[in-house]
């Protein structure tokens, strides 16, 4: 297994698998967040289930955290090795002529997304850990009602925080625009269907971040209603 991660192909495959996992999670996370726009009651119910279900809390959540950490660590490792390779190739030719701006700057969009994840953890995950594991309150209630929708709206009152979220999702879209097709390419799945995957990737990289942006702006504009 260690030899697998030491090889260039092995690292790219591992990176692609973690990318697929995180892209699936983004769809699931967006679907739940959109419920807060169309049905606050259903959003509360689903959030309570996800927040109290033992399988989600003690099996899937650790796997998700590992997937996030692994993806970013592996991304930095690949970028470091690619940077060294580019320094050599630039002495021979113009590498920019054979690659897109986004493919050469995935590290920067990755850093922006990592900063956002830290903010997101501070906003949502750390308070949840404190409420459930330190205070021991698994009821999900506040003043007799589910607290999830109210807590979500409260996070989007501050326009600076909303701006940070929107900016982060723009970077996420740029990251996905290259990463989606790149993940399939690393798995050798683009033969004969690269254009189709590029089209799907472009749609995914626009629709998913835009969905999160709409949620943030909706709650910011409607928090007093």
Q: Indicate which CATH number applies to the domain containing 170.
A: 1.20.1300
When pLDDT is averaged across residues 4-23 and rounded to a whole number, the result is: 84
Instruction: Please tell me what DSSP assigns to residue 132.
Output: I
The pLDDT score that the predictor gives to residue 94 is: 54
Q: Which domain holds residue 6?
A: 2-222
Q: Give this prediction's pTM.
A: 0.87
Query: 99 pLDDT exceeds 90?
Result: no
Residues linked to residue 6 through DSSP beta bridges, in sequence order: none
- Tokens coding 58: 């003690």
pLDDT in tens, 42-79: 999 999 999 999 999 999 999 999 999 999 998 888 88
Lowest mean per-residue pLDDT among 6-20, 96-110, 124-138, 211-225? 96-110
pLDDT in tens, 183-219: 888 887 776 788 888 899 999 999 999 999 999 999 9
103 and 181 in contact (C-beta within 8 Å)? no
Nearest residue to 180 (alpha-carbon basis) of 68, 66, 9, 22: 22
pLDDT in tens, 83-94: 777 666 555 555
Q: Angle formed by the axes of helices 8-38 and 194-222, to 10°?
A: 40
Residues linked to residue 145 through DSSP beta bridges, in sequence order: 142
Percent of the chain with pLDDT over 70: 87
Euclidean distance between CA atoms 198 and 22, whole angstroms? 18
The pLDDT score that the predictor gives to residue 224 is: 59
Counting the structural domains of the chain, the total is 1
Query: 5 pLDDT exceeds 70?
Result: no
């Amino acid at each position: 297994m260690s030899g697998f991660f030491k090889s260039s192909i092995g690292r790219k495959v591992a990176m692609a698998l973690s990318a697929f996992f995180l892209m699936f999670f983004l769809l699931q996370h967006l679907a739940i967040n959109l419920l807060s726009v169309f049905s606050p009651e259903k959003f509360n119910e689903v959030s309570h289930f996800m927040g109290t279900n033992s399988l989600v809390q003690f099996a899937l959540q650790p796997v998700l955290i590992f997937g996030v950490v692994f993806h970013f660590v592996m991304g930095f490792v690949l970028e470091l090795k690619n940077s060294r390779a580019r320094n050599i190739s630039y002495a021979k030719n113009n590498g920019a002529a054979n690659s897109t701006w986004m493919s050469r700057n995935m590290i920067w969009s990755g850093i922006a997304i990592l900063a956002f994840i830290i903010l997101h953890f501070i906003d949502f995950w750390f308070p949840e850990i404190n409420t459930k594991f330190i205070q021991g309150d698994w009821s999900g209630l506040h003043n007799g009602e589910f607290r999830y929708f109210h807590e979500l709206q409260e996070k989007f009152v501050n326009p600076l925080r909303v701006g940070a979220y929107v900016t982060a999702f723009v970077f996420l879209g740029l990251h996905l625009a290259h990463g989606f097709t790149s993940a399939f390419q690393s798995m050798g799945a683009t033969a004969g269907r690269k254009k189709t995957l590029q089209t799907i990737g472009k749609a995914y990289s626009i629709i998913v971040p835009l969905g999160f942006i709409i949620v943030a702006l909706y709650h910011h504009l409607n928090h007093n209603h």
